[in-house]
Amino acid sequence: MKVKRQRITVEELLSRYAVGERDFTYIAIDDSRKGLFRGVDLSGINLEDSALSVDFSGAILREANFRYTVWGRCHWQEADFSGSDFTGINNGVECVFARCNFSNTNWERADLWQSTFEDCDLTNADFDNADFSEVNLSG
């Protein structure tokens, strides 16, 4: 039997992160008010196996754990994901990343179907066994 992800609000995550919590595994979060994560620093956060429908534009998420996350609505700009782990992510919908820093990231077995990377830093990014079906790399 599969356990249902715990649904939390953006405000709850941000307040728990502010007091030192970093482990947010197996949550579901939808930024329905759009933009509450923009520009925030969530470095070191663990979102493994979570469902994310949020806007991380301008956010700092260095050394974050996104392993096996499922993404909806991801059109992110100028975010810093350097050193993060995206192993096995599933982007459920077309994702667009513009001017993001993905240096030193791990994308093993990631499903990047129809994703677009525009002017992103992919220095030392590891894409072993990733699904690049219809991926667009530009810039």
What parts of the chain have a pLDDT lower than 70? 1-2, 32-33
pLDDT given for residue 73 in this prediction: 76
The 3 state secondary structure assigned to the chain is CCCCCEECCHHHHHHHHHCCCCECCCEEEECCCCCCCCCCECCCCECCCCEEECCCCCCECCCCECCCCEEECEEEECCECCCCECCCCECCCCEEEECCECCCCECCCCECCCCEEECCECCCCECCCCECCCCEEEC
pLDDT given for residue 2 in this prediction: 64
The answer to whether the beta carbons of residues 99 and 116 sit under 8 Å apart is no
pLDDT given for residue 74 in this prediction: 85
pLDDT given for residue 102 in this prediction: 98
The answer to whether the beta carbons of residues 60 and 81 sit under 8 Å apart is no
- Reported pTM: 0.93
The answer to whether the beta carbons of residues 111 and 131 sit under 8 Å apart is yes
In angstroms, what CA-CA distances link 129 with 81, 97, 107, 109, 110? 20, 20, 8, 5, 7
pLDDT given for residue 91 in this prediction: 86
What is the tens place of the pLDDT at every residue in 95-132? Answer: 999 999 999 999 999 999 999 999 999 999 999 999 98
